[in-house]
Structure 1
Amino acid sequence: MTRTAANDLGGFLRSRRERLTPAAAGIGSGTTRRRVPGLRREELAELAGVSVGYYTRLEQGVSGSASAAVVDALAAALRLDPAEHEHLRLLAAPRRPTRPRARRGELRPSVRDLLAALPATPAIVIDHRADVLAWNRLGHALLASHVDFHGPDARTRPNIARMLFLDPHHRALYRDWPAKAQVTVAALHHAVARHPADPLLAQVVGRLAVDSPEFARMWARRPVRTCSYYVRELDHPVVGRVTLANETVTLPDDDHRIGLFYARPGTPDADALTLLAHGENAR
């Protein structure tokens, strides 16, 4: 495991330990005054059945991995939900040295054909770095009409995470911006856990942390979510307020995600998408 990956494991453990109060963990707070509301390292180690020294090495990034039994014990002691448990398992897994991923994601022609075959459904494809690989015309019109549809080359292609935090036009689209932002940060955390040696991914996260204090604060909280379905409330500059279902489909062979937006037929939201599509067709 790389030093960065070990630090990610330690940081995640520390964030969840500091979040868990003694009362929630089922232990007494004792008579000593606490400087922080969360559990002490020795308290968590006792709950998980591991030595304080071993747990401290995990949290400090000295020990690079943990067995499945230790991961399960820590997850139970920390009261992790299933998504957080799986994230801890991923962070704690022993990793063989791998060549850093430095190539920009390329989209299969068949995926481009799929997007073109969905003219009435807004669709976008992003990679694990949140770089936009492609969108159909309606997806572009819905999410980023102020950005060139054909897009720049791979070195400067749009990045959804950067747009969400740093592009005021894209940010204003989401009426539920805090929820959308948290999901985006969680997805990047998951990507870092899966690709700890990817320098381009590290660059995306590092630049965002410098350029956006909001991102830096959210990143430090280490949110974890794995849901692939959301309801998005949008304020669109052309069709106004619209509520759409947002389904995300992962392409496992490429580590790419297709985001699809749709509304129930016969609803005002479906009419808004039809109006937007007519506007695109008239261009």
Structure 2
Amino acid sequence: MTGVPASAAGGSSGAQGAARGAASRRGGADGASGAARPSAVESGKADRADRAADRSAEEQEDGKPARGGKITAAAVNQASVWNVANLLTMLRLLLVPGFVMLMLADGGYDPAWRSFAWAAFAVAMITDLFDGHLARTYNLVTDFGKIADPIADKAIMGAALICLSGLGDLPWWVTGVILGRELGITLLRFLVIRYGVIPASRGGKLKTLTQGVAVGMYVLALTGWLATLRFWVMAVAVVLTVVTGLDYVRQAIVLRRRGIAERRAVLEGSEG
């Protein structure tokens, strides 16, 4: 039997040993990388988490709340009717009959009862300043507040003017001008609401403040130079009432014309 040369045998065994060594090194490397590589389940979870984070980021960039925050946002946006702003409005409504009773007590000319009536009127005017500010600042605007607030404003002012004119302290034409302007502007707002909202101007706020001061001075049983002063304050209030009323009419006309022109342009564009 012919023998295999020693060199060939040695070379073969050397080659096999090298191959085993290489395989061993590859196995070690694969084992190390396998230990560092996450499992398929963990990779899937990570991918889903990344996709959810991407969707949340996209929604936030688009100005939309994330899915988890929709319930919270809805709860925040829906203010309760029983909030501080609405409670102040309700208080002002309840003060109207109380004010009338105090104003007309003992024939309506008793200085003490008139002082109590003035206190009720002053509280109503102060709450008028705060309830709207609180509602806008703390997002407490509700449908009830939108309806009840202007009603409460006009109710307390109308009650005071009618009582004063009924007692002979204030001419009826002054009451007619102020109440006619308030009711007319309210009706005008509803007529042009389809075209937009007429914003409250600085002149309107000054008018409201001047009216409150003038009516409050008439509610008190003033004499002497204070009685003369309240006459001029009321004169300024009447002038501001008329001027701001005319300005609201001008704004309503402009707003209506602009709305009609915009609708006409839209119709012409759709037909073209």
TM class by shorter chain equals under 0.3
- Structure ranking higher in helix proportion: 2
TM-score, normalisation: structure 1: 0.21
Q: Which has the higher strand share?
A: 1
**Higher CA-based Rg:** 2
